[in-house]
Amino acid sequence: MSETVAMGGPGPVGDPVSVGLVGAGPWAGLVHAPGLAAGPDTRLAGIWARRPEASAELAAKYGVPAFTRIEELFDACEAVAFSVPPDVQAELAAKAARAGRAVLLEKPLAMDLDGARRLTDAVDEAGVASQMVFTIRYSGAARSYLAEVPGLEPFGGYGSFVSSVLAGGPFATPWRLERGALLDLGPHIIDLLDASLGRVTGVRAHGDPLRWVGLLLEHENGAVSEASVSMAGVGELPPARVEVYGRRGNAQLDWSKVGEDAFTTMIAEFAATVRAGGGHPLDARHGLRIQELLAAAEAQLR
């Protein structure tokens, strides 16, 4: 390994991008750590988490360092991936950006719009690359669907995402139990309808984030769409989906058809984004635009 990579500077173009991981919870263990460690475009440089025992356990699984100070993690990598609650991400990812590290960011960017703006501003001011983990968007199924949609001359659509997270399990984390479906599931649905039907320019919301939320989205080209999200489902639930209708037909994206290729593609594209110095369409600025819509919807629900 070259000295510049060891010290956290950019490595040669052909080398894997060294990525540090912030977080050691269930999602970090299921997705981020194995994906980053698998290569060939990235290597896992180490892990830092608020709970030292959790970071030590996950780091040992992949034979990488568990850092006790987050600054030590920054020193050991070129880029940082985040798998922590939104309020923690907003603070620590801004710190990583100011340290000159590219950032792979979970949705939502932050717990509130002010936090999302501060993080995005930090990324912009530092001039570092950023990319959002809108997982579905990286799948072959989603990209085939989105390639088909323009030819349909779409004028409307619908999205639905219902889970049982509020009933318990590893993802029933405090921030999800407090804020509910809009902040957790809403980014996926809004982002996909935005990609399907054109930039979302307005949102109207009704319901209860801890029960059921309905959204009416207005798109810049005149299309309209509806979306429903809930984390209060029980029993066997249908897969999330997005569907569009147009003058020349219709198309549907069934999320049960989304495979592990989404994670592999996401990580490969992040490595390319880091090497190029930025430019991915799903960057922090895009994440901020989605959060602005979420904030508008939450304000109406209040």
Domains identified in the chain, total number: 2
Whole-structure pTM value: 0.93
- DSSP of 60-103: HHHT--B-SSHHHHHHT-SEEEE-S-HHHHHHHHHHHHHTT-EE
Q: Looking at the structure, do residues 227 and 270 belong to the same domain, yes or no?
A: no
CATH code for the domain of 192: 3.30.360.10
Q: Is residue 293 part of a domain?
A: no
Q: Looking at the structure, do residues 253 and 272 belong to the same domain, yes or no?
A: no
- pLDDT for 13 equals 57
Q: Looking at the structure, do residues 81 and 150 belong to the same domain, yes or no?
A: no
Instruction: Report the candidate in 52, 47, 51 with the shortest Cα–Cα distance to residue 19.
Output: 47
Contacts with 104 (C-beta within 8 Å, 6 or more apart), sequence order: 19, 79, 80, 81, 82, 130, 131, 133, 270
- pLDDT for 260 equals 81
Coil, helix or strand for 138? helix
Note the pLDDT tens digit of each residue in 253-289: 999 888 889 999 999 999 999 999 999 999 999 999 9
Q: Looking at the structure, do residues 104 and 148 belong to the same domain, yes or no?
A: no
Coil, helix or strand for 217? strand
- pLDDT for 35 equals 95
Q: Is residue 298 part of a domain?
A: no
Q: Is residue 105 part of a domain?
A: yes
Q: Which pLDDT band, with edges at 50, 70 and 90, does 2 fall under?
A: very low
Q: Which pLDDT band, with edges at 50, 70 and 90, does 152 fall under?
A: very high
- pLDDT for 258 equals 85
Q: Is residue 219 part of a domain?
A: yes
Q: Looking at the structure, do residues 112 and 179 belong to the same domain, yes or no?
A: no
- pLDDT for 12 equals 54
Q: Looking at the structure, do residues 52 and 89 belong to the same domain, yes or no?
A: yes
Q: Is residue 294 part of a domain?
A: no
Q: Looking at the structure, do residues 19 and 131 belong to the same domain, yes or no?
A: yes
Structural domain that includes position 49: 3-135+262-281
- pLDDT for 66 equals 98
Q: Is residue 155 part of a domain?
A: yes
Q: Looking at the structure, do residues 75 and 148 belong to the same domain, yes or no?
A: no
Q: Looking at the structure, do residues 221 and 110 belong to the same domain, yes or no?
A: no
